[in-house]
Amino acid sequence: MTNSEENYLKVIYHLSLVSPKGVNTNAIAGMLETKASSVTDMMKKLAEKELVLYQKYQGVTLTEKGFLSAKMIVRKHRLWEVFLVEKLDFAWDEVHEIAEELEHIKSENLINKLDEFLGFPAFDPHGDPIPNENGEIQKVSKLLLSESEINREYQCVGVKDSSSDFLQYLDKQNIALGSKIKVINKEQFDETLTIEVNNTSLTISNKIAKNLFVKNKSL
């Protein structure tokens, strides 16, 4: 596949996680910042390679072959993110764009060696699961912090928004993967949360809480 085809496949994969019955071509165009006509042309190419099922006005779904291929691209991206953070000391807000380039390396042998070198990590620096070489993904029971209960303790396990601005905000608040978070109060008016992190009390907006994944501390 070309780099462009891989980019399309990965976007369809991410969109299909929330729209399993079919991905709208306009949504694909929006994610890739391109024209709908360009998406249509690419869908025809991917359909010819038996990577997607595409019918005009009926959305796009990945074939079994396309689904596995997309997961392998995601696998490469997330493994490179782990490598950049753990071995080259990049910050978690710096690695996405670099991994976007590295994910197009074709050598499966290299990626499997990289996986072994890193100790077969199950999650990337943002808490997203890394598919193994067979495409299997470890499931985690998690919820958004906005769905949490008062006087409960949780552990941060991921972010929904992996933009640099959001990750840098979390750094300023000393919130990272593994951080213990206790919910002290939730305002009824705007659902602002008062939380305790590292023995420090913080007030965070509902928007922030909607972008933090947590799990019950006891799990």
Residue 11 lies in a domain: yes
Residue for token pair 């941060």: 156
Tens digits of residue pLDDT in 64-79: 999 999 999 999 999 9
Residue 172 lies in a domain: yes
Tens digits of residue pLDDT in 38-67: 999 999 999 999 999 998 878 899 999 999
Residue ranges for the chain with pLDDT beneath 70: 218-219
Residue for token pair 């709208």: 24
Residue 137 lies in a domain: no
CATH (domain of 37): 1.10.10.10
d(C-alpha 178, C-alpha 123), whole Å: 12
Residue 106 lies in a domain: no
Residue 163 lies in a domain: yes
Phi (first) and psi of residue 155, to 5 degrees: -125, 135
pLDDT score for 219: 46
| Number of domains within the chain | 2
pLDDT score for 57: 75
| Residue range of the domain that includes 176 | 143-216
Q: Which of 141, 147, 130 is nearest to 215 (CA)?
A: 141
